[in-house]
């Protein structure tokens, strides 16, 4: 069920990989009203503080900020951070509900993008990292960077 995005990325949550171990991802549609899609296409969205919940068998994303469209009309939504419904299949919602109820797991929005003219959200099932996990990840990244740097230097000398 895990899917990857191949559309134009409009907003991305870069802190998610720093704060969570992302174990599984789901692509879901967004229910937007009025001129929100126009603002979204202009890149006026922020999902840094966003989170997802499941209530009454429906998934919602909260604190996703989409700025009002300047040339909008009276159908512009008044609240830019309102809860937006996510379009998922019932089987996926039930699976997410069971996994998200486990201790330490949460639903994290990773990316917002457009695919085939529709706004999509990449939702990740994340397990929170502890401080020592974050330090360990940073140390591994630095070590890998040093290895790559040494290999490049060795290739330059060999030529």
Provide the CATH number for the domain around residue 25. Answer: 2.40.280.10
The answer on 151 and 113 residing in a single domain is no
The answer on 50 and 102 residing in a single domain is yes
* Domain presence at residue 152: yes
Query: 112 has which bridge partners?
Result: 11, 121
The answer on 77 and 29 residing in a single domain is yes
The answer on 145 and 84 residing in a single domain is no
How many domains is the chain partitioned into structurally? 2
The pTM assigned to this predicted structure is: 0.77
Domain limits for position 67: 9-128
What are the DSSP calls for 44-96, one per residue?
-EE-TT-EEEEETTEEEEES-EEPPPTT--TTS-S-TT--EEEE--HHHHHHH
Cβ count within 10 A of residue 78: 7
The answer to whether residue 158 scores a pLDDT higher than 70 is yes
The answer to whether residue 138 scores a pLDDT higher than 50 is yes
What is the pLDDT averaged over residues 120-126? 92
**Distance (Å, whole) CA 24 – CA 124:** 6
């Amino acid at each position: 069920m895990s899917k990857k995005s191949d559309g134009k990325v409009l907003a991305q949550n870069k802190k998610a990989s720093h704060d969570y171990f992302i174990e599984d991802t789901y692509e879901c549609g967004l229910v937007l009203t009025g001129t929100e899609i126009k603002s979204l296409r202009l890149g006026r969205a922020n999902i840094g503080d966003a989170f997802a919940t499941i209530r009454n068998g429906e998934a919602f994303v909260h604190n996703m900020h989409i700025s009002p469209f300047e040339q909008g009309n009276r159908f512009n939504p008044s609240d830019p951070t309102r809860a937006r419904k996510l379009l998922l299949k019932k089987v996926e919602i039930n699976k997410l509900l069971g996994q998200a109820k486990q201790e330490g797991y949460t639903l994290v929005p990773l990316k917002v993008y457009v695919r085939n003219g529709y706004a999509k959200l990449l939702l990740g099932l994340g397990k929170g990292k502890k401080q020592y996990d974050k330090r360990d990840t940073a140390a591994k990244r630095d070590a890998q960077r040093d290895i790559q740097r040494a290999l490049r230097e060795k290739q330059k000398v060999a030529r």
